[in-house]
Structure 1
Amino acid sequence: MAEQRQQQLKNLTNYTTEIETLYKNINGFRHDYINLIISLETSIQNGDIKQIREIYNNVLKKSPNILNHDHHSLGVLSKIMIPAIKSLLSHKIIYALEKGIRIEIEIEQQWANCHMDTLDYIRILGILLDNAIEASENTANAFIHIAVIIDPLQKENRFIIENATTEETSAIHQLFKHSVTTKGNGHGTGLHNVQQILIDYEQAHLETAHANHKFSQTLVTQG
């Protein structure tokens, strides 16, 4: 079991490197895109229709996803000093962006300790983020807001996830029961699993709220 956990953490750490490379490539693309616009403007002024078509067909037409997404949120993850958590968030943010979900993420200061076993922590975050993505993607105003609040004096971390929902509200206590869900058949074990993980941690708990078509989960850990 210990070897399996180490391998999983190693895989996530390797994924961090891939994501950071992707982010650098995106920033590089934006720089190139500015130069591209200058070339396009020159071609328009000269009436060079052939050049305009080449720019459109070879570059602009092939890169709608990069142009439409705001990847600034990935840069905020540089404040996370825990590679496995950074990897998970990078993956989930990109996945949500590809589904057309607006992402906002706030991390005010460096984050170096999650106050519990890292693998258990990312298991919980994975469930909460998957739920947020699935609930939000079917709404008219699809969004996910993530905030990490570090309190060094109280030695407390608060990881907040808020997302849009089609339902105005729900019975919170019911959602943590096994196989109870607002998402239809085949779902419902996620929050129950989160609860089972948290049983082993006296210094951790989950705060849940749902009102006005906004669902929020706050994972609080102390240590």
Structure 2
Amino acid sequence: MSIILFFALPFTPGISENLSYYLNSLITGPVMGYCMVLALKKTSNYPLSIPIQIILTLLAFCFYLTSSVGQLIYIILGIIITYFWVMKRSVPFNIISSLFIFATIYYSILNSIIYRILQFFIFNRFNLSTVVQAVIFVGVIQSILTILLLILVLRKLRPLILNYCQLVPIQWPIFSWVINLLACYFAIFRTSVSSNIISVPYSIYLLILAAYTVGYPLVMYLSTKSLQKNITIQNQQLELNHLSQYTSHIEAMYDELRRFRHDYKNILLSLSDAVENKNIDQVSDIFKRVVIPTNVNVETQTSVLGKLSDVKDLEVKSLIYSKTIEAIDKGIKVEIEIEKPIKLDSNIQITDMLRIISILFDNAINATLNAKQPQINLSMFEEKNVQIFQIGNSTKEEHINLSKLSGRFNGVLTNSHHGLGLRNLRSILARYPFIQNNRSSKDYWFEQQIVIYKVKHIKK
């Protein structure tokens, strides 16, 4: 019956304006609401289940298409639902917010552009009834054209959007929220103009529309490029620092070996005199006091260097060596296992891998210092389709609650630096869908595993 009524109403004389408005909302609302959900899917690639899509569509129908306040309510509820129930807090809140707001607002911007095109070419030239304009053109044709335009635009903008959301909301959160609020203002402005709450000349409205259409992605692009430049400079400095530390360790070992060689003859002469005099106590004293400590120190450092010879990335090698020596100096036993030559997958930025290793190693050092027998085991190996970086450490607790490390609880880590490191780690790994982070804990031993699945080269 409702379908018959829908097709009959455009041709029924004297139809009530209230009824026309009711049908407009009833039919076009869900269509436009689902188109906004589709815009979110196309922008973010979030795995939106059917129930979640239905909920977001109903929320858009109930709130976003009603008023300026309703639009803000929809955005807030949509972000919360996406953060808690879609991504389950595995992605930082600021990233979710920026992606959701962009998808929602930029859909509104493109939707407004399509409406102005329809208004110029159709509404102003043909005498169409209000219901036909609202239901058929605004509700259906406009929504379809908007989604098609959005898909075309996202082919160019999506890499920019994802780079922006992975960098700016994390590094510059205040700036990203300023951009988000300015973007939300467009939706409020558009609704206020449509509802005649405020009066703006048509030319000014088009100018504002053009400014948002171009300016929104342009600001994202410029801020991302600026931040990438700063990060590149910082990462280059980080690499230089690691290489400098590596060089310093090599120089220190060389000096120690040179001193050992210099003292070698004196040691042999002392031992020779003690042997000739058959002074066993003096021989034992020289051996324990001079020979053994020097030998252990040299052997330890050369052993670490020897095991790292199969790491083909000099930056990674220097960082692991530096962290290993740091752990040894703190009285931690370190074991390294690298079975065969390994080179980092080209799809991962070397600076990101350095940060991952640094975070995991620092956390392992801090955690194992409280254990009865401080020990860290590090291994790197490569199988047919994966590279695996694994680091384990002894712990004070027999078992660690892994849910406390998943990012789904706040305030559970006593060490703020440790918690910050884990948040940074999640932020880095969020950029690489082909990397898996596994954790395990049992028998006073905690282990983290970074599994890098080999994929075809990804264009940056």
The Cα of 1:205 is off from its aligned counterpart by 1.7
1:97 match: 328
Kept in 2, the 8 Å contact 1:77–1:86? The answer is: yes
Task: Name the aligned partner's letter for residue 122 of structure 1.
Answer: L
**Which residue does 2:365 correspond to in 1?**
133
One-letter amino acid of the structure 2 residue matched with residue 141 of structure 1: Q
Check conservation: 2:363, 2:418, Cα contact below 8 A: no
Whether the aligned pair in 2 keeps the contact of 1:16 and 1:83 (CA below 8 Å) is no
Q: Secondary structure at the match of 1:168?
A: coil
SS at match of 1:42: helix
Task: With the length of structure 1 as denominator, give the TM-score of the two structures.
Answer: 0.80
Name the one with the larger strand percent: 1
1:202 and 2:433 matched: yes
Equivalence for 1:116: 348
Counterparts of 1:163 and 1:90, CA distance in 2: 17
Q: Select the residue among 222, 227, 233 that pairs with 1:3.
A: 233
1:161-211 C-alpha deviation (Å, 9 max, x unpaired): 111000000110212325432x55664222222111101101112110110
> Contact 1:161 / 1:217 at 8 angstroms: preserved in 2?
yes
* Per-residue CA distance 1:22-67 (angstroms, 9 max, x = gap): 4445566676787665444313224499xx69x96xx839x95873
Which amino acid is the alignment partner of residue 241 of structure 2? N
Q: Which amino acid is the alignment partner of residue 401 of structure 2? A: A
CA distance in 1, matches of 2:335, 2:257: 18
Aligned pairs (5 A) from 1:29-108 = 38-47=268-277, 60=290, 64=293, 67=296, 70-71=300-301, 72-108=303-339
Please say if residues 381 and 387 of structure 2, whose CA atoms lie closer than 8 Å, have aligned partners that are also in contact. yes
1:16 match: 246
Structure 2: which amino acid aligns with 1:125?
A: I
The code of the aligned residue for 1:80 comes to V
Residue type at the aligned position of 1:132: A
Bigger radius of gyration, 1 or 2? 2
Equivalent AA in structure 2 for residue 67 of structure 1: V
Structure 2-normalised TM-score?
0.41
Match of 1:168 among 384, 395, 398: 398
Larger RCO: 1 or 2 (CA < 8 Å, sep 6+): 1
Tell me, in whole angstroms, the C-alpha distance in 2 between the residues paired with 1:74 and 1:180.
37
Residues 71-98 of structure 1 show CA distances to partners (whole Å, capped at 9, x for unaligned) of: 2122211211112111111110000000
Residues paired across the two proteins, number? 214
- Cα deviation for residue 18 of structure 1 reads 2.8
CA RMSD of aligned residues (A): 3.2
Matching residue's letter, 2:234? Q
Alignment check: 8 A CA contact 2:327 2:334 kept: yes
Residues 128, 64 of structure 1: alpha-carbon distance in 2 compared, 3 angstrom cutoff: same
- Unpaired runs of at least 5, structure 1: none
Q: CA deviation at 1:17?
A: 2.8
Once the 2 structures are TM-superposed, how far is the Cα of residue 107 of structure 1 from its aligned partner? 0.7
- Partner amino acid for 1:149? F
User: Could you tell me whether the CA contact under 8 Å between 2:393 and 2:446 is conserved in 1?
Assistant: yes
Matched residue type, 2:433 = E
- Structure 2 residue matching 1:189: 3-state secondary structure: helix
User: 2 CA distance for matches of 1:184 and 1:65?
Assistant: 36
Higher helix share: 2
**CA drift at 1:99:** 0.8
1:176–1:192 CA contact under 8 A, matched in 2: no
Q: What is the CA–CA distance in structure 2 between the aligned matches of 1:128 and 1:65, rounded to whole Å?
A: 31
